[in-house]
Amino acid sequence: MYRSDELLKARITEQLYEKKIRPEERPAFHLTPRVGWMNDPNGFSWYQGEYHMFYQYNPYDTQWGPMHWGHAVTKDLIRWENRPCALAPDTFPDREAGCFSGDAAELPDGRHLLMYTGCRREKHLDGTICDVQTQNLAIGDGVDYQKYPGNPVLSELDLPEGASRIDFRDPKIWRESDGSWRCVVANRAEDETGQLLLFTSLDAFHWSYLSKLAVNHGRFGRMWECPDYFVLDGKSVILMSPQDMEPDSLGFHAGNNVLCMIGHLDEEDENGCFREEFVHPVDDGIDFYATQTVLSPDGRRILTGWMQSWDTVPYRVDNAKWFGQVSLPRELTIRDGRLIQRPVRELEQYRTDKAERRNVAVDDSRVFADPALSGRIADLIFEIRPEEDCREVEIRFAEGGSHYCSVTYRSQDQTLTIDRSHSGVIRDVLHSRTAKVSAADGSLKLRMILDRYSAEIFVNDGETVMSMTHYADPEAAGISVRARGEAAVDITRYLLNI
């Protein structure tokens, strides 16, 4: 199979430089780039007995740069194995700016199909330069991929009137029960806000415009990115990542979000056939963006995302050899009009060293800290029962010396705050975020998944999720509980041996 000079250079670079990164310098079970920079996960798919994950990748620097597709595989969604770089910016549609986000699927003949956005730079007679985005294909065997000679398969010639050729990206592809194919692509509409365009194909190679799937009309941020569409528990679901949102009463924060729409399709309406019934954030934490889902062989819909945010990219370790990580995969269901997210059940097989404490009493003068319940790579369950006078219960983790990260529950206003301000940070960017939580009787259940450089908090069995990265001293593994007012707490801790 032909491999361009650009692809060979990337593969040689990652082979040479990944050897300089010791395993303990990485997370234990969150996927990171082999070297350099990672952003959006791409092409999350099941192929030839493994889950494949691709990702936006710059192997030459820990900053965003010319976009390649990195590649890794896993059999259990926990332990990842690197594969060689899959795509490099080496053809006309993508040479100047790169191979942007997209998806993957298995063709009927057993080949692995990648669909990605190519970005090229166009210079006009007046000297101005703009990026033009098109959708392109590559076909391979799970290791090597050849770009389709008919690229691009979707360009400005396929767009409806008023659709931007500059912001036209991130295809999500799937096959319908009748054997035909669909893909949804993010686009900027005439009103300068996002819309999702639906395309159809009989063979996955020749595409035509079908309709608008969803239209923003200026409600949720500006441009929409990384769309996903699937059916779950009898409902149609759209996930996408709006840019430049203002905070609102639905719980969205300022900046970049991930939005979930639950509803149904009205295929008779060409002006946006998706009918929303419920809309809410997917993750209320600091670091989460650009989701992808896959349907597992046993029928579970599994989600993952870039556990980072464009708003917090300056928060990093100086001289690190990698940047960016993918969230722990999550199983999805729908309950009472809300997307429920739980850590994939495969994580539980790595639990070890269980420790429990029941009815731990904490108040203004009693702090609970037991070295037997410490852990930096751990799966923790807290059940918090505040008394009527309790103003807040704070859980500290990655604690060592004067440094720690925290999760604080305030039962009187039913909020949960995650905070890394005291983890040894030296960058003045966003370090805390607060979300509303549901606690009818005041009690709250938290499941906290800790890795070396992150925390993902699942509230009330996945009703709300809050994710964040942190770079506390890797040796800091203390866990403590304290309160203002009286509370009782049940604690279960498992170490994760991965």
Contact 90, 97 (CB under 8 A): no
Tokens of 206: 């020749």
Annotated active-site residue 269? The verdict is no
Cα(447)–Cα(445) distance, rounded to whole angstroms? Answer: 7
Q: Tokens 């909020």 correspond to what residue? A: 415
Catalytic member of 5, 40, 103, 191: 40
Cβ 157 vs Cβ 129: under 8 Å: no
Q: Which of 419, 414, 498 is nearest to 460 (CA)?
A: 414
Question: Would you tell me how many other CB atoms lie within 10 Å of the CB of residue 193?
Answer: 20
**C-alpha to C-alpha distance for 172 and 116, rounded to whole angstroms:** 9
Q: What is the DSSP string of 210-226?
A: EEEEEE-TTSS-SSEEE
| DSSP three-state, residue 391 | coil
Report residue 220 as tokens.
């949720």
DSSP state of 2: -
CB count, 10 Å around CB of 74? 17
Interacting residues of 405 by C-beta distance below 8 A, sequence separation 6+: 396, 397, 398, 399, 418, 419, 420, 422, 423, 455, 468, 470, 472
Burial status of residue 1 (CB atoms within 10 A of its CB: 0-12, 13-18, 19 or more): exposed
Q: How many CA atoms lie within 13 A of 70 on its CB side?
A: 30
Helix, strand, or coil (residue 232): strand
What residues act catalytically? 40
